[in-house]
A and B are shown apart, each in its own frame.
Chain A
Amino acid sequence: MARIGVFICHCGENISATVDCGRVAETIGKLKHVAYSTEYKYMCSDPGQTLIKDAIKEYKLTGIVVSACSPRMHEPTFRKAAAEAGLNPYLCEMANLREHCSWVHEKNDMTTEKAIDIVRILVEKVKINNALLPIKVPVTKTALVIGGGIAGIQSALDIANTGHKVILVERSPSIGGHMSQLSETFPTLDCSQCILTPRMVEVAQHPNITLYTYSEVESLDGFIGNFTVKIRKKARSIDEKDCTGCGLCTTKCPQKKIPNEFEEGMGFRPAIYTPFPQAVPNKPVIDREHCTYYIKGKCKVCEIVCPTKAIRFDQPDQILEIQIGAIVIATGFDIKRTDFFPEYGFGKYKDVIDGLQFERLASASGPTGGAILRPSDGVVPKNIVFVACAGSRDPAKGIAYCSKICCMYTAKHAMLYKHKVHEGKAHVFYMDIRSAGKNYDEFVRRAIEEDYVNYIRGRVSTIYECDGKLIVKGVDTLLGAQPLEIVADMVVLATAGVANSGAEELAQKLHVSYDSHKFFAEAHPKLKPVETNTAGIFLAGACQNPKDIPDSVSQASGAAVKVAALFSQNELTREPLVAFVNRCSPPLYSTCVGCFLCQSVCPYQAIEREEFKNRDGKTIKTVAKINEGLCQGCGTCVALCRSKSIDLHGYTNNQMYTEVMALLNVY
């Protein structure tokens, strides 16, 4: 006989403000098989959990329903509490009274009625729940870090320093990411390359790190602790072992007019190139799309000049298959380019540039050697306008969020400009200045007070060209909303930070969620900012949302700790919510008829064939069998099975039908 305990949580007032918890507890208490029903202010608190544990023991409960928040929030908490009281954790269910009831409905009788129904459904379900034992799986103690920007570098180094192997995959020819493009960094104005390149070298030399640049994740299978990743190592067209990185080929290549990605299109590179002088690895790559040999079938100048004969024109892409246990996604971000803004010239004005382009102009290693020269004619701009929030916080542009880094880097840009062009005038159009961070606001004040940057609170409606000047039309909202026109030589748009190209595709390959802006989604906005909803996959840096360097590095270290914690165990326990094929006595063995339709729909190849043999060794019957290590419990096979021979622990046919019947008050 089932003896069910029901625990109604008030969640402070979150539930009790709209749901009459007392009435719910009382009504549920009268149900058949409910041995105990009570309410409490905070079930998840220590006394709340103690209350549950004591009740399990005192009333010899055979199942409990904790009616509180979403099971996605606290199911593990209460299942653990049940286990501590000696009740199998899978005999604990949660009724979602907060997210699905009290928070979404008004305070009235119907809401309380609905709460009662929700609890009742789960009471009926838990009555027929089975005790389940966790599944143990081994852990492969190698981590995969995707993305070689500062977040990926930090994560890889931190994991490697705990003694575990790391595979670092970067899709461009060198690690370094956007940080390697920056000139100086806020709020200290120290040179970005100077602090980054030692880290890059450390990655290359670390015995625990295997670096795959010019490589991309092709596919991912498996589950936490036991992933198999396929990596496409794109053909570099050189032999990395033979190449010494002397760079002779890059100076002799006849193709010299390819827009340089690293310089944000403001410089040129040859077809065989290293992205920048400090690249790691410092080995060139042939851009087959632009290489004369691949286009016309002849040239091979690089092959002729190479002193070590390292050029390999026929090198194919390589697919590597590697076993890993955890993944850190650190694929970073991108920015909107100037062509996104019709009102600012659709990218057709050469002297309207974006923030990354300004970084390259200001960088000592950039196309101008650090001199601020406008791209159209190489003249020093005397009047420069910075437009903050270009695209950001603009729902009409589809980007409602704040890109977070622009306020700070705009202040930095204005400062760098003033430090280099003393007599020049710098204007900043801004909506609000968001400079929350250590020494951040002081930095912005310095730009305004010491470097005399003219901060104008208002937005820019349009920019157009007239007689070789850029007319910037805006408004000064602090001076009675006066329309304002500035005749500028150059304009820098602090364009919105957006998800990196290919983020959506990668998310789909890795089966992790992403938000409507294609940023990767964290498992919980506050308490699990580093985890994804997929166990064993973590996030670091701006792939989650725009972040500055300190934030990215902190999160990268956080992700590394999560990986290290995972790797500190030899075995993982997995939720036993997997499918199973029924078995019965011979001669039937199972109601499964062996059609194996289930095999064709299983995304994890978790369905195997089991043969039953007679004494002579002859196969009498072949039926399906679930590999519990591979099964992830999606249940597609269950819905498909014609003879209803497969079922899913935790979501059995019996349980699901019971829920429906309970919901409709049949019970």
Chain B
Amino acid sequence: MSEFEPKVVAFVCNWCTYAGADLTGTSRIKYASNVKIIRFPCTGRIDFMLLLKSFANGADGIIVSGCHPNDCHYTSGNFHAKRRWIMFKELMDFMGIDMNRITFSWVSAAEGARWAEVVNSTVTRVRELGPYVSYKQMVNTSIEEEVTHA
């Protein structure tokens, strides 16, 4: 029981992945209970600052998931999310954030089994990586550095 149980935050869109996760439920497919879902209208709504906020407050892993390309309920929200992700990924990587802790995926309303897969693979991966303490250390060091420089 002493095994590390990671905290995983899932940011999902209402129309595809949230519905897909509902389907996982109606299909009674089991997955790791470490993940907790936050519902957004669209992946386009997901402000990526929320991801940083999550890490800063103790999240060990993050899933961002929405509709497949061309399937967005709002036509193009997922494309904006994707573009933002491409930029943000580079930036986060540069800043030293462990990109293995973030899963960016498309799960449609028909892919209940896929949602379970996405969750399980993310949880397994993050469990192997261990608690994300280095984020706090990183933030704290940079603050300290700033203080000493001042």
A residues near B (Cβ < 8 Å) are 70-73, 96, 98-101, 103-106, 110-111, 114, 117-118, 121, 508, 511, 513, 515-516, 521, 533-534, 577, 601, 603-604, 632-636, 638-640, 648, 650-651, 653, 656-657, 659-661, 663-666
B41:A633 contact, CB within 8 angstroms = yes
Given the complex of chains A and B, what is the CA–CA distance between A39 and B81 in angstroms? 39
Known: A635-B44, A639-B44. A105 touches B33 (CB 8 A): yes
Question: What is the distance, in angstroms, from B15's C-beta to the closest C-beta of chain A?
Answer: 6
B59 close to A (CB within 8 Å): yes
Given the complex of chains A and B, what is the CA–CA distance between A141 and B80 in angstroms? 34
B42:A103 contact, CB within 8 angstroms = no
Which positions 75-113 of chain B face chain A at CB distance < 8 Å? 75-77, 80-81, 84, 108-111
B57:A534 contact, CB within 8 angstroms = no
A663:B38 contact, CB within 8 angstroms = yes
Find chain A residues with CB under 8 A from B54 CB. Answer: 660, 663-664
Given the complex of chains A and B, what is the CA–CA distance between A639 and B11 in angstroms? 13
Given the complex of chains A and B, what is the CA–CA distance between A71 and B41 in angstroms? 13
Given the complex of chains A and B, what is the CA–CA distance between A103 and B37 in angstroms? 15
Given the complex of chains A and B, what is the CA–CA distance between A103 and B115 in angstroms? 14
Q: Is the interface of B mostly helix, strand, loop or mixed?
A: loop
Given the complex of chains A and B, what is the CA–CA distance between A130 and B150 in angstroms? 43
Minimum-distance CB pairs A-B, first 8:
A99-B25, A635-B45, A636-B44, A634-B74, A103-B25, A603-B75, A634-B42, A99-B22
For this complex, 7 residue pairs linking A to B, each with C-beta atoms less than 8 Å apart, are A72-B18, A99-B23, A103-B28, A511-B75, A601-B44, A663-B7, A663-B38
Known: A118-B36, A656-B38. A513 touches B75 (CB 8 A): no
B residues near A (Cβ < 8 Å) are 5, 7, 9, 14-16, 18-19, 21-26, 28-31, 33, 36-42, 44-48, 50, 53-54, 57-59, 70-77, 80-81, 84, 108-111, 116
Find chain A residues with CB under 8 A from B24 CB. Answer: 99, 103-104
Known: A104-B31, A636-B76, A664-B7. A72 touches B38 (CB 8 A): no
Find chain A residues with CB under 8 A from B39 CB. Answer: 71
Given the complex of chains A and B, what is the CA–CA distance between A648 and B45 in angstroms? 9
A651:B40 contact, CB within 8 angstroms = yes
Q: Given known contacts A100-B22, A104-B31, what 15 new A-B pairs fall within 8 Å (CB)? A: A96-B37, A99-B22, A100-B21, A104-B30, A106-B30, A516-B111, A521-B110, A533-B19, A603-B74, A632-B74, A648-B45, A660-B50, A660-B57, A663-B9, A666-B58
Contact of A511 among B18, B41, B73, B111 (CB under 8 A): B73
Find chain B residues with CB under 8 A from A534 CB. Answer: 73
Find chain A residues with CB under 8 A from B33 CB. Answer: 101, 104-105, 110-111, 114
Known: A656-B47, A665-B58. A515 touches B73 (CB 8 A): no
Given the complex of chains A and B, what is the CA–CA distance between A660 and B40 in angstroms? 12
Question: What is the distance, in angstroms, from A515's C-beta to the closest C-beta of chain B?
Answer: 5
> Whose C-beta in chain A lies nearest to the C-beta of B80?
A636
Question: What is the distance, in angstroms, from B104's C-beta to the closest C-beta of chain A?
Answer: 15
Find chain A residues with CB under 8 A from B18 CB. Answer: 70, 72
Given the complex of chains A and B, what is the CA–CA distance between A499 and B72 in angstroms? 20
Question: What is the distance, in angstroms, from A507's C-beta to the closest C-beta of chain B?
Answer: 8
Given the complex of chains A and B, what is the CA–CA distance between A287 and B131 in angstroms? 66
Given the complex of chains A and B, what is the CA–CA distance between A511 and B33 in angstroms? 32
Given the complex of chains A and B, what is the CA–CA distance between A515 and B108 in angstroms? 9
Given the complex of chains A and B, what is the CA–CA distance between A72 and B76 in angstroms? 22
A110:B110 contact, CB within 8 angstroms = no
Question: What is the distance, in angstroms, from B40's C-beta to the closest C-beta of chain A?
Answer: 6
Given the complex of chains A and B, what is the CA–CA distance between A664 and B5 in angstroms? 13
B46:A634 contact, CB within 8 angstroms = no
Find chain B residues with CB under 8 A from A648 CB. Answer: 41, 45
Question: What is the distance, in angstroms, from A362's C-beta to the closest C-beta of chain B?
Answer: 37
Given the complex of chains A and B, what is the CA–CA distance between A221 and B31 in angstroms? 39
B38:A513 contact, CB within 8 angstroms = no
Find chain A residues with CB under 8 A from B37 CB. Answer: 96, 100
A508:B70 contact, CB within 8 angstroms = yes
Residue in B19, B23, B33, B111 with the greatest tally of chain A CB atoms within 10 Å:
B33
Known: A513-B109, A634-B42, A660-B53. A103 touches B84 (CB 8 A): no
Contact of A70 among B22, B59, B76, B81 (CB under 8 A): B22
A99:B36 contact, CB within 8 angstroms = no
Question: What is the distance, in angstroms, from A198's C-beta to the closest C-beta of chain B?
Answer: 39
B47:A639 contact, CB within 8 angstroms = yes
Find chain B residues with CB under 8 A from A103 CB. Answer: 24-26, 28
Question: What is the distance, in angstroms, from A23's C-beta to the closest C-beta of chain B?
Answer: 15
B40:A656 contact, CB within 8 angstroms = yes
Question: What is the distance, in angstroms, from B88's C-beta to the closest C-beta of chain A?
Answer: 11
